[in-house]
Amino acid sequence: MKKTLLALFMGAWMSFGAFAQNTPHRICGTMDLLNQQLASDPGMAARMQAVENQTAEYVRTHAHNNQAESVITIPVVFHIVYNTTAQNITDAKCIAQLNQLNLDYARLNADASSTPAAFQGVAANTGIQFCLAQRDPNGNATTGIERRQTTVTSFSTNDNVKRYANGGLDAWSSSSYLNIWVCNLSGGVLGYAQFPGSAAATDGVVLLYSSVGSVASPGTASPYNLGRTATHEVGHWLNLRHIWGDDGTACSGSDQVSDTPNQAGEKYGCPSYPSTDACTSTSPGIMFMNYMDYTDDACMNMFTAGQSSRMNALFATGGARVSLLTSLGCTPPSGGGSCGTPSGLASSSITTTSATVSWAAVSGASSYNVQYRVNGTTTWTTVTSTTNSRSLTGLTANTTYQYQVQAVCSGTSGTYSSIGTFTTSTATTCGTPASLTSSSVTTTSATVSWGAVSGASSYNVQYRVNGTTTWTTVTSTTNSRSLTGLTANTTYQYQVQAVCSGVSGSYSSIATFTTQATSGCTDIWESNNTISTAKTISTNTDITGQISST
- Among 332, 314, 257, residue whose Cα is nearest residue 287: 257
| φ, ψ (nearest 5 deg) of residue 488 | -65, 150
The residue from 52, 146, 233, 266 that is catalytic is 233
DSSP state at residue 335: T
CB of 131 closer than 8 Å to CB of 73: yes
β 355-358/191-193 pair status: unpaired
Q: Determine the Cα–Cα distance for residues 391 and 475; give it in Å rounded to an integer.
A: 35
Q: Determine the Cα–Cα distance for residues 238 and 51; give it in Å rounded to an integer.
A: 11
Q: Does residue 526 have an active-site annotation?
A: no
Angle between helices 305-313 and 44-61 (to 10 degrees): 120
Q: Burial of 335 by CB count in 10 Å (0-12 exposed, 13-18 middle, 19+ buried)?
A: exposed
β 491-500/458-465 pair status: antiparallel
CB of 149 closer than 8 Å to CB of 45: no
| φ, ψ (nearest 5 deg) of residue 461 | -115, 120
CB of 251 closer than 8 Å to CB of 146: no
59 has which bridge partners? none
CB of 326 closer than 8 Å to CB of 37: no
Q: Burial of 483 by CB count in 10 Å (0-12 exposed, 13-18 middle, 19+ buried)?
A: buried
| Residues listed for the chain | 550
Distances (CA, A) of 233 to 27, 214, 239: 11, 15, 10
Distances (CA, A) of 414 to 403, 405, 444, 484: 16, 10, 73, 68
DSSP state at residue 519: P
CB of 394 closer than 8 Å to CB of 380: no
H or E stretch covering 6 = helix 5-22
Q: Determine the Cα–Cα distance for residues 485 and 472; give it in Å rounded to an integer.
A: 12
Q: How many CA atoms lie within 13 A of 549 on its CB side?
A: 0
Residues taking part in catalysis:
233
